[in-house]
Structure 1
Amino acid sequence: MSSYYDKLSQLSANRESLSQRRNRNLREDHCDSTRPSAFRAINMSTLQQIPANTTVKVLYPNLQFDLANEFNSVASMFIPDAKGVYSFVASVLFSPSNFNEAYRGRISIQVNGHEVAADNDFFGANIEIKNIISVATITQLQNNDIVEVFFVSSVDGTIDLLNSITRFEGARFPSPAT
């Protein structure tokens, strides 16, 4: 008569390890959801005027790289070909027209017109430096979702051009589609 532990040993001997099962599942999927997907776009060419209290789509016309040809630099949109979990970072270099006035700047990442992440920065009056405002998120996307960045300020100003500070970048996590 077999003991309980002998039965467990027999079951374990016939069972695939967790990593073997995961690798088998990845091989069986045969989909492009595990292919690399990453991009980085900046704004080095288009000075954007920001009217007070007006939400403006941020432009990122200068593509630095796009592994899967999913970023449209003319429209400043990321449209994934594969569903999965993605990480995004966006930032702007904002310069108010009048440094003597306190103001708020807000940047957001939207998916299909719905906000998925946002961040506010508040600056007091008489602080004569430009403000770098950024936001980051991890979100689940479906193929053909549209990811865009928007900005609003409580005062008039511009999104300035300086190195690659005004940027939008993202990458898909290397995992099976969920």
Structure 2
Amino acid sequence: MPRDEFSASDRPGPGLTAEQELDVALRTASDFRGSIAGADAKAGLLIPALGVGIGGAGNAIAAPSAGAWATAISLVLLGLVLTSALGALLSVIAVLTPRTPAPAGKPNLFAFPTFQPLRAAEDCRRAQPELCAQAWRQAETLARIANTKYLRLRTALRCSCAALLAFLVWTALRPLLAG
């Protein structure tokens, strides 16, 4: 939950002017926006790979196997592929799902959805400390969003690797299972 007030110890370096501090806060928020965009781009790259993997495993299920044990082993391995790929796909969807938290308390000039362009000029005349606090709150919110996205992306990558490993094992055993 974002804090409403930041103490002097929460702010960067001594001796910064209010304008410099605001600039640092806005650059920090901008860096986190870039991290969020990077996580979204990486998750977007996984979607086609997962589609190909799920399609390939789905087609392989129909492939004939020799004997009950061979069929059982094939189905278990392909079930692992499909389950892992589905877990990865759900994690990718979680990465790409927008999560703009509802603002607690006062509106924030730097945050969506409370930004109101018609009032921006009037809001810019606020005291610099309030603007700095708002910018730091926005940076904190964006950092939390970026952290959540990367945790879910890590889960998607682990599930993708598990699906790939199970598929490679199935591919290696397929000649033995077929006859």
- Relative contact order, CA 8 A, sep 6+: which one is greater? 2
Structure label with greater radius of gyration: 2
The reply to whether TM is greater than 0.5 is no
More strand by share: 1
* TM-score of the two chains, using structure 2 as the length reference: 0.21
TM-score by length of 1: 0.21
The structure that is helix-richer by fraction is: 2
